[in-house]
Amino acid sequence: MFKPKKTALASLLCATAFATAAFAQDTQLDLKFAGALEFSDTGTLFVGDNYNGAIYAFDMTGGTAPDQVMPVNVGDIDVKIADTLGVPTSALAINDMAVHPVTAEIYISVSRIGNFESAPAIMKVSQGAEIEMIDLSALSFEKQALDHYPDQETTFRPRGLGKSAPLIRDVAKGDITLSSLAIMDMEFHEGELFVAGVAFDNFLSTLRRMPYPFDGTQGAANVEMYHISHDQFETRAPIRAMSIQEIDGKTQLVAAYTCSPIVLIELDEIVDGAKISARTLMDYGNGQPLDMVSYSMQGEEMLFLTSNSRSPHVIPVSSLNNATTYTKGDLPDGGKSDMMPIMPVGDTGKAVMFDGMSLQIDNLGDSLFVSLTRDMYTGSLNMDSNFNGFPNRLHNLVAEFDFPQYWEDK
């Protein structure tokens, strides 16, 4: 079994040191990494810094809403961002995207990789599709350090597939630290920020909640869930994407994990020191969730879930009410592959068509999705805005409706 390099005592001392400095109103910005993004209802931008083990809240309130939210489309957006920053596209990593709830401006967190180190940046794409880098040092901000931040020495264990030895790329993965997953997703809800990621001890998967404005207090609860396709209880791999919804008359967190269970967690359970057993509702099989977007479709609340290796899934929130939960023993023993007839399990939603691969997606106004989409034909990365009822680019599709004879017959 893989052993952490730090003892539990050393990790506890490290975590205690962070806890004593858990809140600071810094006069000088020390952001080292711009990862997960989230907006408050009024426009405060939360930025997860996995290198510092902290969350920054930048004041972007006071903006003006446009008369009408327009679609924003930018071809080769990675190339244009790299040009703006003066780096080659190969030296640019895009980490997350979020839309300002008032101004409808689109914010993208990136890393610039130089000769000696990487540097964070937040890019803004206006309603007119103009790209600029935000001067974060000019903004008022607050900083909240994480309790129980993982040490920055423990790395993942390289592994091969089955009996195969690890390849060079697998060995390289073994150089990545667990702390890189300290902040995976954030949700702002009724004056509190909920943060999914990993913590310092052996029970890694953690949900944190903290009031905003930050006051130095936070709760950290460990999360266990039953993973159907793996047929085991898991405590380490963190939640990748989440949304807060009213289900069964309670405020609950709908959370998606890697390969790819969907679970429910009541918000009342997320208290400091708690050991939570999430309730598993379904499992799609292999794939890594990227974004979970809540939106309204024909008067019904829906969740749009994207993945790095599966079609997007649309889940009606109402279908989660009184949904069957699964635990070990409810299904045949052993791991379950995508090809088994039993998979997917407990699926209450629908896989939907999506042209290309969405790396990041968010709401743009009431009726649009904006997506950073990898084009399947050209390989280019584009920012596309499309109707959320059918978020596809029709110019890439040739169907019956495109033939002139079709319309002549009408």
- Quick one: DSSP state of residue 193? E
Do 12 and 18 contact (CB within 8 A), yes or no? Answer: no
Cα 326 from Cα 328, distance rounded (Å): 7
pLDDT tens per residue across span 320-354: 999 999 999 999 999 999 999 999 999 889 999 99
pLDDT at 162: 80
pLDDT tens per residue across span 210-223: 999 999 999 999 99
pLDDT at 101: 98
How confident is the prediction for the chain on average, in pLDDT?
91
Least confident of 10-19, 164-173, 188-197, 243-252: 10-19
Asked if the model's pLDDT at residue 251 lies above 80, the reply is yes
φ, ψ of residue 241 to 5 degrees: the values are -150, 145
Indicate the pLDDT class of residue 384, thresholds 50, 70 and 90: very high
| Per-residue burial over 104-142, b = 16 or more CB atoms within 10 Å of its CB, e = otherwise | bbbbbbbbbeeeeeeebbbbbbebebebeebebeeeebb
- According to DSSP, the β-strands at 275-277 and 219-227 are parallel
Do 370 and 384 contact (CB within 8 A), yes or no? Answer: yes
**Domain residue limits, the chain:** 8-408
Cα 271 from Cα 276, distance rounded (Å): 9
- Integer angstrom CA distances of residue 401 from 177, 188, 397, 409: 51, 42, 10, 11
SS3 (DSSP) at 267: helix
4-18 average pLDDT score: 33
Indicate the pLDDT class of residue 407, thresholds 50, 70 and 90: confident
Asked if the model's pLDDT at residue 115 lies above 90, the reply is no
pLDDT at 67: 96
Cα 399 from Cα 401, distance rounded (Å): 5
Which fold is adopted by the domain 8-408? Methylamine Dehydrogenase; Chain H (2.130.10)
pTM, rounded to two decimals: 0.91
81-107 average pLDDT score: 97
Asked if the model's pLDDT at residue 166 lies above 50, the reply is yes
Do 115 and 144 contact (CB within 8 A), yes or no? Answer: no
